[in-house]
Structure 1
């Protein structure tokens, strides 16, 4: 997106709320986003910020809550969890028709696919894995009450609520055949774990993390789905985006690790449980749940893409279609059954 396509109201608001601007500012849409829209904003002195706003239309429930993203960023900024520094929040819809916010631009490499993962030097790949899981453990060590997020906790079982929510949203999508999603949902609902309570990112994977050249995770972003719930849902989500070279089951989410040289899923689980003190868990359940949930999310993304709500420059190759969504739901059911 070019600067002239951003409304003048946004430019004026940005200038009125962000210090250190030197000269003209340029807004550039960052490709690869499948949900909320992100723009890199630069000035003539090469200062850089990131502006986030919801999709242009087709928003499902609270999945694009800018206020929630802003709140989690602000709460976690003083902790050991690396997040971009939040700079300004706008809830005046006269500016751009929705809430939006600005944070410092997170410098570093985002590992969102096999190509980016293959470009990581061999010596840095182990660090990518250990740093990623260490950041996840650090996040799950943060007590919601200590950072003022405990009021977001809701009564009842978190996974049960998630099953209901994403099942409903899948049925609000344009998917014509939901039989596989329904079958996996029913199997998952029949054996919901009790679970612990902590901060959940909701989309924790290398595609939402910036890494330095040595492979160290330096910033976690995309907090639009963050909540208070069962932290093991984050672990399952990470694992279904973490391929190994001999995998027979495809990753549910874009994976940077199929080239090899990265820690295995088993090694990640071992490091996480050692860091968090987590005992024996039904990891197959959390893997199946993560794969099923990803299928439901993909159904919403595909619906928005088909309706033209992801922007004119949306890449069709980055949108998972109905057949692949159905296959992921089937794989989730098989995973739950131990197949």
Structure 2
């Protein structure tokens, strides 16, 4: 058994590898679709799979003049609301139009017949992804700058009015805290092994102690450092990735 603490996360998850046989694409069909739907596309096309731990298989698409990223639903039978790459495409399209740091989206394919599941294509953004969130190798001031860039990006996201940027129908509006408490209470009860008095008191306390609701805003749902691409030479967020839980 491997000790998880001994894994070099930066080395393990950075870069690309050969495509997993379970997630192989029809390269010829993809090439033809790209030619029809991505402005400026010109093959030949080379496809590799990113090593990072996305639940939606993610691929690097390289041509002689450009680099793209493809996100797809995994093939097979899935839960109805899981792996919603079409929702990801919707939100990054709206945010890109506002100048928020996301990869430029190019096209969404809802035809499962092209590669076996729906997918979308966006620009590949060059930069750094920090897989070890302790940021080894950076000085304390450098770490502080990275963490502040992360929080500044989150604050900027929460500054957008979803209605104003075309996301009025993106998710449920209002009652956010109550919905979160209700969802996590159900999750806890479903996995409860034995009664814990402190948890019972907390579950009773929270519904009557919710903060006042504010205006509805977009929630990323998983805004970790390893879901961000930073500039190669400074603490600047170039792109926020993985909007599946937004």
* TM-score (normalised: structure 2): 0.75
Mapping of 1:56-205 within 5 angstroms? 56-57=75-76, 59-114=78-133, 117-120=135-138, 123-154=141-172, 157-165=175-183, 178-179=192-193, 183=199, 186=203, 191-196=209-214, 197-205=216-224
Determine the C-alpha separation between the residues in 2 that align with 1:98 and 1:216. 34
Shift of 1:191: 4.2
**C-alpha separation in 1, matches of 2:42 and 2:189:** 48
**What does residue range 252-291 of structure 1 map to in structure 2 within 5 Å?**
none
- CA distance in 1 between partners of 2:77 and 2:180 (Å): 20
Q: Could you say which residue in structure 2 is the equivalent of 1:2?
A: 19
For residues 63 and 170 of structure 1, what CA distance do their matches in structure 2 show?
A: 20
Higher helix share: 1
Structure 1 portions without partners, runs of 5+ = 227-339
Choose the corresponding residue for 1:44, options 64, 70, 73.
Answer: 64
TM-score, normalising length from structure 1? 0.56
Partner of 1:274: none
Q: How far did residue 48 of structure 1 move?
A: 0.8
1:215: Cα distance to partner? 1.7
CA distance in structure 2 between the partners assigned to 1:13 and 1:181 by the alignment: 55
Native 8 Å contact 1:63 1:225 kept in 2: no
Q: Secondary structure at the match of 2:146?
A: helix
Equivalenced residues, count: 220
Q: Structure 2: give runs of 5+ residues left out of the alignment.
A: 1-17
The answer to whether the 8 A contact 2:133-2:225 is kept is: no
Report the Cα distance in structure 2 between the residues aligned to 1:10 and 1:181, rounded to whole angstroms.
53
RMSD: 3.1
